[in-house]
Structure 1
Amino acid sequence: MPTGTAIRDVREQLFGAAERVLLRDGPSALTTRAVTAEAGCANGVLHRHFTDFDGFLTELVLDRIAKIEAQSAALRGAAGTGSLIGNLSDAVTTVFTSVAVAIVALVTFRDELRARLRAARPSGGVPLATEAVAMIASYLAAERELGRIAADADIGTLAPTLVGAGHLLFADRKSTPPDPEAVRKMVTTVMAAAVPSPPRPPAPQSPPSQLSAS
């Protein structure tokens, strides 16, 4: 390829094709032939840009991790604005309407891919799910600093609970995604104890009794 831009375009074309195959047919269907057929190119195109198929899949996962990290900066920047429950619901939906759920299944399915990702990610954890937890935790910490969640809120529990519950909502790739209200209800339930209740207005005072003069 004559330019870096062209190489990036080929990578994205192949990554997009792999995601479509993965979402449509599952991890067992993901092969070099399936990806290149979906992308409309010859098998050799993939091997010109990647050492082998597991190398290609490793780069796909790392690329999608980088996108979550970019989303994390945007989410943290939203702290103190809009609805806290709405911000969290949007973040969970963005993560799990992407290919994240399918990639977790892919990593579980392929031993060599897991080994390469362990080498590329010394911090460990489940790829994408770990980064999603870190994204949510960073946002919650910012909101705690601003007083929009309780000072004693256990972010180390809340963040993985939100991501785990979100994963369960979106995990069935054969059915339609949950509606926004279902996601919002889950987030509201998880966050219930951590979101300070607005102060109640004072109860109206009864007027003093008027005693008739005797």
Structure 2
Amino acid sequence: MPTGVALRDAREQLFAAAEHVLLRAGPNGLTSRAVTDEAGVAKGVLHRHFADFDAFLAELVLDRIARLDERALRESAGTGALAENLTTVLTDVFGPVAVGIVGLVTFRDGLRARLRRAGLTGIPLLAQAAAMIAAYLAAERDLGRIAADADVDTLALTLIGSAHLLFAGQEAPPAAEEVRRIVTAVVG
């Protein structure tokens, strides 16, 4: 006899619950019990779908990295204002969940180790965003919209680091004008 209600997509339900807990309680409050309570499921559901809690968290991070829309940014090269394109992408990259995930990766040694075993280094969400921005800047450089000798990798890292400092630890995201000011200072 069944003991519960079938879940439509347990993985997404658990990921959504983890995001809610992360936003509400921060990395310290993100436990398997907090996630399953938030999702309204038994603790065993998480362990039925993931080997352990760090495996769950690693999949959450990888899922959120996959949601970065690299192609859309690259395809915006040559259109609109460069500063506006970068302001928009940085604001999207540093949404509240992403800032929480950065803290989570920093906080949990087991998660960082698991992500390294998956071939990811540093803070994976930020590293992927930097690569995405570098590819966009390279396309803009090829179109002549930034200097031909621009070091796009360094520019991308500078934008990511500056934006992270601007967004981290804030109750509310900074105004677009604050992000735009940094973008303009970095890329001119």
Give the equivalent residue in structure 2 for 1:148: 145
In structure 1, distance between residues paired with 2:141 and 2:25: 42
Give the equivalent residue in structure 2 for 1:24: 24
Q: 1:114 to 1:7 in 2, by over 3 A?
A: farther
Give the alignment of 1:15-164 within 5 angstroms: 15-68=15-68, 71-121=69-119, 123-164=120-161
RMSD, aligned CA = 1.5
Structure-1-length-normalised TM-score: 0.82
**1:188 maps to amino acid:** T
**2:176 maps to amino acid:** P
In structure 1, distance between residues paired with 2:110 and 2:122: 16
Structure with more helix by fraction: 2
Give the alignment of 1:187-206 within 5 angstroms: 187-192=183-188
In structure 1, distance between residues paired with 2:75 and 2:14: 32
In structure 2, distance between residues paired with 1:15 and 1:59: 9
1:98 positional shift = 4.7
1:134 aligned counterpart, secondary structure: helix
Structure 2 residue runs without a partner (length 5+): 1-5
Structure 1 residue runs without a partner (length 5+): 1-5, 193-214
Give the alignment of 1:167-182 within 5 angstroms: 167-173=164-170, 175-182=171-178
Retained in 1: the 8 A contact 2:140–2:146?
Answer: yes
127-136 or 150-159, larger mean C-alpha shift: 150-159
Structure-2-length-normalised TM-score: 0.93
Q: Based on CA coordinates, which of the two structures has the bigger radius of gyration?
A: 1
93-102 or 157-166, larger mean C-alpha shift: 93-102
Give the equivalent residue in structure 2 for 1:210: none
Q: 1:157 to 1:7 in 2, by over 3 A?
A: farther
In structure 1, distance between residues paired with 2:159 and 2:107: 24
Deviations 1:52-82 (A, max 9, x none): 11110111111111112xx111100110111
In structure 2, distance between residues paired with 1:98 and 1:30: 15
In structure 2, distance between residues paired with 1:8 and 1:133: 34
2:149 aligned counterpart, secondary structure: coil
1:157 positional shift = 1.3
1:117 aligned counterpart, secondary structure: helix
In structure 2, distance between residues paired with 1:110 and 1:162: 25
Retained in 1: the 8 A contact 2:23–2:96?
Answer: no
Which consecutive aligned stretches of 4+ in structure 1 deviate over 4 angstroms post-superposition? none
Percent identity (aligned): 66
